[in-house]
Amino acid sequence: MNEMLGNQYFMARKYSEALSVYEECVQQDKSNNLIMKKMVICYTQVGKIQKAAELLYKIIQNNLDLILFTDPLKEDCPCDELAFNLETKYDKTLKSFDYLLALGVLWLYCDLNKSIEYFTEALQLKPDNKLINSILVILTKRKKQDSKQFDHHSSWQN
């Protein structure tokens, strides 16, 4: 197991190399969420968008905070940059399912609302997709909770 080598590849933005090392690592330690969190990003960069979404779902079922509270600086997370590049470099009018799915995944590390927007758009293209439905259930539930807390906090202040 060489998580450290995987971390170096990830840090050097060599996603394919990082992924092959991380995949070996999680086979030996299936509960290592920190590695899986990075693997999701790697999958989006090597074109395995479906796998990225599946792994993301696996993480957020138990620990949505792990993704939501990502600190881009402290964790050297490239998601905001990757999402921005994807949004600016590709023809948005095409809006393919994978394109929307990748943005939904990446934005979850930075902005819950944007992530929900992209997942909802993806669902409109494939309304029967169970995985996206399930992800959206978790995310919208959290959004409601956050709103309630915010409202409660505001009314308490008033």
Partner 1 sequence: MPFNKHLKNDILDSLGEGVFTVDKSFRINFFNKSAERITGLKREEVIGQFCKHVFNSKVCYSDCPIAIVLKSKKNLYDFESEIHCPTGITKPIKLSAAVLYNGNNEPLGGVISFRDISEFDKIKKRLAKNTQFHNIIGHDKQMQEIYTLIQDIADSDAPVLIHGESGTGKEMIANAIQATSSRKDKPFIKINCSVFPENLLASELFGHVKGAFTDAVKDRIGRFELADGGTIFLDEVAEMPLQMQLQLLRVIQEGTFERVGESITRKVDVRIIAATNRDIEAALESGEFREDLYYRLSVIPIYVPPLRERMCDIAPLTYHFLNKFSLMYKKDITEIDDEAMDIIMNYEWRGNVRELENVIEYSFVRTPNGEKITLNKLPLLIRERVYNKKKQKNNFLFNDPEKEKLIRILEKHHWNKSKAAKELGIGRTTLWRKLKQHNILEK
Going by C-beta distance under 8 Å and a sequence separation of 6 or more, which residues neighbour residue 2? 21, 24, 25
Among 23, 76, 81, 151, binds partner 1 (CB under 8 A): 76
Instruction: Kindly identify the residues of this chain, within the stretch 3-42, that bind partner 1 according to CB under 8 A.
Output: 3-5, 7-9, 11-13
Cα distances from 141 to residues 77, 113, 134, in angstroms, run: 25, 12, 11
Q: For partner 1, how many residues bind (rule: CB under 8 A)?
A: 12
Instruction: For residue 43, count CB atoms less than 10 angstroms from its CB and return exposed for 0-12, middle for 13-18, buried for 19 or more.
Output: buried
Least distance from partner 1 to the Cβ atom of residue 64, Å: 22
CA 83 to chain centre: 10
Complex with partner 1: residue 33 or 134, whichever CB lies closer: 33
Are 110 and 79 in contact by the 8 Å Cβ rule? The answer is yes
Complex with partner 1: residue 18 or 53, whichever CB lies closer: 18
Least distance from partner 1 to the Cβ atom of residue 103, Å: 25
**Binding footprint of partner 1 on the chain (CB under 8 A):** 1-5, 7-9, 11-13, 76
